[in-house]
Amino acid sequence: MSTGRHWTSLIVLVGTAALASCAQVEDPCKTKSRVVADDKYCDKYWECDNGQSIQYDCPNGLVFAGKHRGVTEGCDYPWRSNYCEYPKVQTNPPIGTEHCDWLYGIFGHETSCTRYWTCWNGTATEQLCIGGLLYNENAHSCDWPENVDGCQKHPLCNEDPNGNVPLGKSCNRYWQCQGGYPRLQRCPAMLVFDRRSLRCVVPPTEECDVPTTTAPPPEEDQQDLRQGQQQPQKRPGNDYQEQQGRQRPRN
């Protein structure tokens, strides 16, 4: 939680009075965690500060998940673990920026089924679904194409929606199109992918000798899928979420 708070006695009194008016809100100063959820709004919570109950707002687009949980400040994305279920609602309106419906969140791309945006404090970072996956707006993550409605077929499979496509310079990996969507495949041991017959064969071929046991570099998996576009940025993990400390918005 943030430090360096300077509250006037009036704000403390107002916060205490508001807490007292909500009988269902547990006094955070009487709990071990010193933090409790608001009883009506899932994007607000109460914290004990110097013996007083103070109400805080989660960053715009996030909801309260619990102390030391979520992506920042005890707050998380609304769709995770059903943190914001009826009758609770988000009371703060969305603050939108370019590509971001809220300051924090994960949002679909405007023109691509294989890309999406991660938004952190209003700054959008473009991400890419690899391995033949598409962005699923309902799951807020990359998913198998059959689980994604309303998305166009992948351009890799334009020539044959159920055929095979070479993967860069790889000798044992290739794309297998299934209903117009590519999935990454690997030839069985000691076989190589033949670019002419578009299937796994006994080596050698014009491009490949006996396959090695060394896996190709990760970027080789992506170069055909990107079709000349720049390399994608990594999907955010713990390092993405554990950024520098940020000042919490106060109610």
Q: Do the Cβ atoms of 179 and 145 come closer than 8 Å?
A: yes
Structural domain including 35 reads: 9-93
Per-residue CA distances from 21 to 27, 39, 172 (Å)? 12, 11, 67
User: Under 8 Å CB-to-CB from 106, ≥6 apart: which residues?
Assistant: 77, 116, 117, 118, 119, 140, 141
The per-residue pLDDT string of the chain (251 residues; one tens digit each, 9 = 90 and over) reads 443 333 333 334 344 444 444 446 789 999 999 999 999 999 999 999 999 999 999 999 999 999 999 999 999 999 987 888 888 999 999 999 999 999 999 999 888 888 999 999 999 999 999 888 899 999 999 998 888 887 877 788 888 889 999 998 899 999 998 888 888 899 999 999 999 999 999 999 988 987 555 555 544 444 444 443 333 333 333 333 333 333 454 44
Q: Do 141 and 111 share a structural domain?
A: yes
Q: Tens of pLDDT along 67-122?
A: 999 999 999 999 987 888 888 999 999 999 999 999 999 999 888 888 999 999 99
> Does a structural domain hold residue 250?
no
Residues 175 and 147 in one domain: no
CATH of the domain at 208: 2.170.140
Distance CA 104, CA 91 (A): 15
In this structure, are 22 and 84 located in the same domain? yes
Q: d(Cα 3, Cα 71) in Å, to the nearest integer?
A: 18
**Strands 181-186, 173-178: parallel, antiparallel or unpaired by DSSP?**
antiparallel
Question: What CATH number should be reported for the domain holding residue 112?
Answer: 2.170.140.10
pLDDT confidence of residue 102: 96
* 39 and 14 in a common domain: yes
CB of 28 closer than 8 Å to CB of 220:
no
How would you class 210 by CB atoms within 10 Å of its CB: exposed for 0-12, middle for 13-18, buried for 19 or more? exposed
Residues 16 and 62 in one domain: yes
Same domain for 77 and 124? no
Shared domain for 146 and 170, answered yes or no, is: no
- The identity of residue 248, as a single letter, is R
CA 196 to chain centre: 39
Same domain, 143 and 162: no
Examine residue 240 and state whether it is found in any structural domain, yes or no: no
Residue 209 in contact with residue 203, Cβ under 8 Å? Answer: yes
110 & 159 share domain: no
- My answer on whether 113 and 89 are in the same domain is no
Q: Is residue 3 part of a domain?
A: no
Nearest to 117 by CA among 239, 242, 236, 222: 236
In a domain, 52, yes or no: yes
Query: Is 55 among the domain residues?
Result: yes
**Is 121 domain-assigned?**
yes
pTM above 0.75, yes or no: no
- The pLDDT, as a whole number, for residue 82 is 80
| Distance separating alpha carbons of residues 202 and 248, to the nearest angstrom | 62
Strands 134-136 and 192-194 turn out to be: unpaired
Distances (CA, A) of 192 to 19, 44, 185, 187, 248: 68, 57, 12, 6, 56
Q: What's the rounded Cα separation, in Å, for the pair 230 and 193?
A: 26
Q: What is the domain count for the chain?
A: 3
**Are residues 60 and 95 in contact, defined by beta-carbon separation less than 8 angstroms?**
yes
